Amino acid sequence: MNGLYFEDYYEGQRIETPRRTVTDYDISAFVNLCGFLTPTFIDLEYVNRPEHYSGRIAPGMLTLSFAEGLILASGVTAGTGLALLELTPTWKAPVYAGDTIQTQIHVVSKRLTSRGDRGVVKTENVVVNSKGETVATYTSARMIKSKTFGPKLEEES
């Protein structure tokens, strides 16, 4: 997909990203890189207790990072995205090693900025696993180029 310009978005638009399987290696690398060194993420005996979880879970921030990576992988902002302005996540269910996730993008609003060559697109994003369960939701706002993006040439007299 080519990147969408501000004008290409419309309220109610729905876009699905590619899918990605979360691996044990992904979780280990993220946990070690970011220092999430708590029993919830590094102790398999702890997480396999019946009162906890039924296997290795991904930190919510990893799920959110993958969800955003899937949006980038979809190409929707390729060459047109200028800035991520807002993320407001809510986690609904754990993501386990071996789960496959996908992000569903729902455009809720858009507005042109005062510069006129870019706009802000707000979306509600739903992260689902391969069972169709919602594991996270979040709103986001992105600054997106319009088709007129770039320097304005002054008229010659």
Which CATH number applies to 6-145?
3.10.129.10
The pLDDT value recorded for residue 145 is 97
The pLDDT value recorded for residue 150 is 82
- List residues bridging with 57 in a β-sheet: 96
Span 66-77, average pLDDT: 97
Span 84-94, average pLDDT: 97
Instruction: Tell me whether residue 93 is exposed, middle or buried, using C-beta atoms within 10 angstroms of its C-beta: 0 to 12, 13 to 18, 19 or more.
Output: middle
Span 14-23, average pLDDT: 98
Q: What are phi and psi of 25, to 5 degrees?
A: -60, -45
The pLDDT value recorded for residue 154 is 56
The pLDDT value recorded for residue 25 is 97
Reported as a single tens digit per residue, the pLDDT across 32-68 is 999 999 999 999 899 889 888 888 999 999 999 999 9
Reported as a single tens digit per residue, the pLDDT across 93-117 is 999 999 999 999 999 999 999 999 9
Range with the poorest average pLDDT among 2-6, 77-81, 110-114, 147-151: 147-151
Span 61-79, average pLDDT: 97
Query: Does the pLDDT at position 156 exceed 50?
Result: no
| pLDDT confidence bin for 29, thresholds 50/70/90 | very high
The pLDDT value recorded for residue 157 is 41
Q: Enter the tokens of residue 12.
A: 């109610």
* Backbone region of residue 17 per phi and psi (left: phi > 0; alpha: psi in -120 to 50; beta: other values): beta
**Domain limits, the chain:** 6-145
